[in-house]
Amino acid sequence: MFTDLIARHSLVKAAKHQESEAASGRAVKAAESLSAHLVEVVNSGASEAFAQQQRIGAEVHKVLELTKQLDEQNSEWTALINSADQSLKVLGDFETYFEVLQRDLGKLTSSLHHLGQQKSEASAAAPAHP
């Protein structure tokens, strides 16, 4: 009877040990599976982040190139506007010079005309010498 109890206890103990070993094996496999899945998710996220970073870097490069082109175009436009402004100033100076010259020539013409009239009047008023 005592030996039967020991034998049954040994069988139950062996069965429990096998169940424990099986449960432990399943737990290890589940942990390995979970770990592999987590690593895959993290790697996938890191891979996506890296790809996204590459795309953003390419876009930043494009934006910098466009900014450089716009800056160059802006400089060209500024130079053209300054040149046109200078030309308008020169044209305005020429117009002013032309107006002054026209006024001075008008005065000169008027003075010459007046002198011509005075000379004609003086000639007409002077007695004729035979």
Mapped onto helix, strand or coil, the DSSP state of residue 97 is helix
Determine the residue type at 97: Y
How far, in Å, CA of 29 to CA of 23, rounded?
A: 10
Q: Which of 18-22, 23-27, 72-76, 126-130 has the highest mean pLDDT?
A: 72-76
Mapped onto helix, strand or coil, the DSSP state of residue 127 is coil
pLDDT in tens, 83-117: 988 888 887 788 888 889 999 999 999 999 998 88
How far, in Å, CA of 34 to CA of 39, rounded?
A: 9
How far, in Å, CA of 44 to CA of 55, rounded?
A: 16
Residue found under tokens 């049954």: 8
How far, in Å, CA of 12 to CA of 118, rounded?
A: 155
How far, in Å, CA of 78 to CA of 12, rounded?
A: 96
How far, in Å, CA of 35 to CA of 43, rounded?
A: 12
CA 20 remoteness from chain centre: 66
pTM of the complete model beyond 0.75: no
Comparing 2 with 106, the larger pLDDT belongs to 106
pLDDT in tens, 38-91: 888 888 888 888 999 999 999 999 999 999 999 999 999 999 999 988 888 887
- Whether the CA torsion 5, 11, 16, 21 is positive or negative: it is positive
What letter does residue 126 receive in the DSSP assignment? S
